[in-house]
């Protein structure tokens, strides 16, 4: 079987497969059709390199596409770290926090801004904005920071979501 052959091949280089994490999935162009014939709703997904990989279809011509979404666990962990850092920095000037947050969010967008993932990145951006507003409001008991006032700060510091890494055929098209 394939897993045994792969294990032998990796053994030649002193590597081993993790039996808990290693599994064979039906994935690819015909996986959706085969799963439908067996009565399964959709093919299995897998997480790799911070993305959840999903078998999908394009809307315009129903051709196969691998959809990549930010892994939910990784995004939740990143948001948790950002919230904790914001609470530690809450009494720093808004410019300082904004500059730091701009670098953090832009770095996250740089690594996750692939086609089809913009909705999830928009959710990430929204959660960061909410966390920052929460920390600003916690600075004093008489906080008067409204969402409308906060929009001006967001426009200065939190970058907008856009696709940074297009598909290769779009990148190298003449």
* Whether 78 and 164 share a structural domain: yes
Whether pLDDT at 174 is above 70: no
pLDDT digit string (tens) for 88-142?
A: 999 999 999 999 999 999 999 999 998 889 999 999 999 999 999 999 998 887 7
Listed in sequence order, the residues at least 6 apart from 46 whose beta carbon sits closer than 8 Å to its beta carbon are: 25, 27, 52, 53
Angle, CA of 55, 58 and 64, to the nearest 5°:
45
Helices 94-112 and 147-157: crossing angle, nearest 10°?
Answer: 60
Whether pLDDT at 26 is above 80: no
d(CA 46, CA 89): 36
The pLDDT value given to residue 127 = 96
User: CA nearest 71: which of 55, 90, 52?
Assistant: 52
The pLDDT value given to residue 47 = 85
The pLDDT value given to residue 44 = 80
* Whether 102 and 49 share a structural domain: no
The pLDDT value given to residue 172 = 66
Listed in sequence order, the residues at least 6 apart from 50 whose beta carbon sits closer than 8 Å to its beta carbon are: 70, 71, 74, 111, 112
* Residue 80 binned pLDDT confidence (cut-offs 50, 70, 90): very high
Q: What is the mean pLDDT of the chain?
A: 87
* Whether 39 and 59 share a structural domain: yes
d(CA 132, CA 96): 13
The pLDDT value given to residue 70 = 92
Indicate the residue among 32, 48, 70 that finishes a domain.
Answer: 70
* Whether 26 and 110 share a structural domain: no
* Whether 65 and 102 share a structural domain: no
Whether pLDDT at 169 is above 80: no
Total number of domains constituting the chain: 2
Whether pLDDT at 28 is above 80: no
The pLDDT value given to residue 108 = 94
Structural domain boundaries, residue 91: 72-170
In a 3-state reduction of DSSP, which class is residue 115?
coil
* Whether 164 and 82 share a structural domain: yes
* Whether 66 and 88 share a structural domain: no
């Amino acid at each position: 079987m394939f897993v045994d052959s792969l294990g032998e091949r990796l053994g030649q280089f002193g590597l081993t497969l993790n039996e808990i994490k290693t599994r064979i999935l039906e994935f690819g162009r015909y996986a959706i059709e085969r799963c439908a014939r067996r009565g399964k709703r959709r093919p299995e997904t897998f997480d790799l390199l911070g993305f959840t990989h999903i078998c999908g279809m394009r809307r315009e011509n129903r051709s196969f596409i691998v959809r990549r979404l930010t892994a939910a666990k990784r995004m939740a962990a990143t948001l948790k770290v950002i919230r904790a850092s914001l609470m530690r920095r809450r009494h720093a000037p808004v410019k300082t926090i904004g500059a730091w947050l701009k670098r953090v969010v832009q770095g996250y967008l740089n690594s996750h801004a692939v086609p089809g993932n913009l909705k999830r990145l928009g959710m990430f951006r929204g959660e960061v904005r909410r966390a920052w507003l929460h920390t600003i409001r916690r600075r004093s008991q008489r906080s008067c920071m409204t969402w409308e006032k906060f929009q001006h700060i967001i426009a200065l510091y939190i970058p907008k979501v856009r696709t940074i890494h297009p598909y290769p055929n779009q990148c190298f098209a003449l």
